[in-house]
Amino acid sequence: MLFNSFEFVIFLPIVFVVYWFILKGKLHFQNAFIVIASYVFYAWWDYRFLLLIILSTLVDYVVAKQLKKGQSKAFRRQLLMISLVFNLGMLAFFKYFNFFIESWLEAWQSVGIHMEASTLHIILPVGISFYTFQTLSYTIDVFRKKISPTSSLIQFAAFVSFFPQLVAGPIERASHLLPQFAIRRNFDAKFALSGFYLIVWGLFKKVVIADNCAFFVNQIFDGSGHFSSMELLLGAVLFGFQIYGDFSGYSDIAIGVSRLFGFSLLTNFSFPYFSRDIAEFWRRWHMSLSTWFRDYLYIPLGGSKGSKRQQLRNVLIVFLISGFWHGANWTFIIWGLIHALLFLPLLLFHVNRKHTNETHLQLKQIPQVLVTFILVTLAWVFFRADTVTIAYNFIMEILSFNGTSIALFVKSSKSLLFSLIILLSVLILLLFELRAVQNNKKEVTLSTWSAISICLLICFMGVFKNPSDFIYFQF
């Protein structure tokens, strides 16, 4: 069920009314209803994969309960291994099985040995990369004795399956979200209204920015024609705004919907395209995933401790695995490698935390922002392209940029007009975000009802017209 679909417009008010009016004050029944609603929400795509969520929930619930009882370190490690093997094994099979088989065959063929093996027709369950990481973090935190396991299966099931963030995050921590299911929730009109504003803003980013950018981007990247360097460059830039509008728009809607039910979710984006270097970009982009890799991979590897060589190794491993997490394709691994190579010099010269405590953007820092955006944009080409070869040729063509390509682009009035419309929408987005950055806000605030009305009107026009999937559903 898509947020930008007619089905969700019907689903959300029904859940809201039952939750607040029929089950008001009945905490256990409210939590149970959230589980049921979340299962219905997920089953709308494919009910068969609902079993995976239920199994993951039961496995980690039981493992965590046993971890509390277990005294032996060896026994506790065995319990943790059960959770790791089950969740990562499930993720590896559905997401990476065919990739490993195909890569194995290609490796042998590269040395002249022909081998045959069959791949499987595997459907990737929606959101599997997100909810497996969320349940894993719970088990690991219980193992580390950072949190105590919950005794309520209903509360834990609600934590795992909470429908606003189930299929594309934010990837929640048990220490943050799980306790919210244990306390009585009272309707807060001001908090709910802030959630409504975020839903509107998220739909604006998805329907107006992302979907319109996608129309142009898909034509550029599908290779169905010859495009000038200017058009390729514009396609790369617009994909950057497409994926940002799509993914951050989803996060805004998820956070907003959660507030309607009295829940607070983690911030997932903090205006990443105003970053002054790659390190700051990753503190602002997909923050719930970045901090997950920091806490459960980077720090266990040694983090910033040890020799400089070990630190560089740790960063490289994290970025490569982060790229691989996004998809079973070498393009994602190369994308992760590019970001690692951009990040490593900052670590090497001890400037990776230079902008950690800075808030306001200064005029003299605009060149840094532009350089960072250009580097991120070029890396996005590998993220979007179907193969490494296509991405490489794409970038080489962009770098051959000349006056002729500009002339060809300007002569294409249709291309130019459509681009101007999109760029106007992007400009509105950036102006709202710049105001938030300069005011040290964590999110965009819509200050007038007129702005809300305009956004609602635009979103309403787009919601029911061929609603498109969110990009991160495929991950």
Contact 171, 289 (CB under 8 A): yes
- CB neighbourhood size of 322 (10 A): 22
b/e map 112-126, b = 16+ CB within 10 Å: eeeeeeeeeeeebbb
Kindly state the tokens that stand for 307. 């020799």
Query: How distant, in Å, are the alpha carbons of 12, 154, 179, 257 from that of 26?
Result: 20, 13, 16, 20
User: Measuring CA to CA, how many Å separate 218 from each of 212, 238, 392, 413?
Assistant: 10, 10, 17, 19
Collapsed DSSP state (helix, strand, coil) of residue 385: coil
Q: State the residue for tokens 């919907």.
A: 257
In single-letter form, the type of residue at position 373 comes to F
Query: What is d(CA 193, CA 202) in angstroms, rounded to the nearest whole number?
Result: 14
CA pair distance 85, 94, nearest whole angstrom: 14
CB 241 within 8 A of CB 426: yes
Residue type, 63: V
Helix (H, G, I), strand (E, B) or coil at 364: helix
Nearest to 323 by CA among 379, 246, 241, 284: 379
Query: With contact defined as beta carbons under 8 Å apart, do 170 and 255 qualify?
Result: yes
In the structure encoding, which two tokens stand for residue 188, read together? 């807060």
Catalytic-labelled residue, pool 28, 176, 326, 355: 326
What CA–CA distance (Å, rounded) separates 143 from 77? 8
Q: Is the dihedral of CA 377, 383, 389, 394 positive or negative?
A: negative
Give whole-number Cα distances, 324 to 33, 94, 389, in Å: 35, 14, 18
**Other CB atoms closer than 10 Å to residue 432's CB: what's the count?**
19
> What is the rounded CA–CA span in Å between residue 57 and residue 54?
5
Quickly count: other Cβ atoms within 10 Å of residue 317's Cβ: 16
CA atoms of 25 and 322, how far apart (whole Å): 42
360 classed as catalytic: no
Tokens representing 380 are: 């996005």
Catalytic residues: 326
